[in-house]
Amino acid sequence: MSKIIETKEISRMYKMGTTIVNALQSVSISIDRGEYVAFMGPSGSGKSTLMNIVGCLDTPTSGTYMLNNQLVSEMTENELAETRNKEIGFVFQTFNLLPRATALENVALPLIYAGFSKSEREEMAMKTLEDVNLADRYHHRPNELSGGQRQRVAIARALVNNPSIILADEPTGNLDSKTSYDIMNLFQELHDKGIRSLWLHMKMTSLIMLIALFD
């Protein structure tokens, strides 16, 4: 199997006044497609920092990060922006949906920046809403949807570009137990269908899972 993510001895230090904070120290991970990997740790152990680096939102102070056989540190700002748009899908605890846009329009948003036509965007967005079992709510705005339905829209938006990785930051943090269970089942269903990779940061268990799926 080809490696989708590989870090070697990455560290991240932050300077806060005169204090140096070592948020991440010498972390090496290697993830192949098809693996289902979980990273666990207490609050403050560096899970979110590692996730931000994997998502190309932050850079390590030292060490190397290879994403799909590309050395991330050698990418230009434009290449990083393109990578975030095409290779990485983000799911947030607070959904981050546009309140005046329909579910279909919210899902299609990343495709605008990817250069697809309106008809292509609508077709791809509808197909992805079908994948998360929400096609019958395509014309509803976020305030007309339940929390679980809004999270499904957010997941569909993350999937629509067929990314290599999905980063989900506490995706059940704002949901009740039953809905949280349903969302986790959805991720499992997407895994079984072959959606390529998922990274989940679970608030209730301080859990990050990175799932590198089959091609």
The domain limits of the chain are 32-62+69-212
pLDDT at 160 over 70: yes
pLDDT at 17 over 80: yes
Output the pLDDT for position 79.
Answer: 92
pLDDT at 207 over 70: no
- Interacting residues of 2 by C-beta distance below 8 A, sequence separation 6+: 32, 33, 69
Output the pLDDT for position 1.
Answer: 56
Widest Cα–Cα separation across the chain: 55
Give the model confidence (pLDDT) of 18-73 as tens digits: 899 999 999 999 887 766 666 766 777 888 888 889 889 899 999 999 998 899 99
23 versus 184: the higher-pLDDT residue is 23
32-62+69-212 has which fold?
A: Rossmann fold (3.40.50)
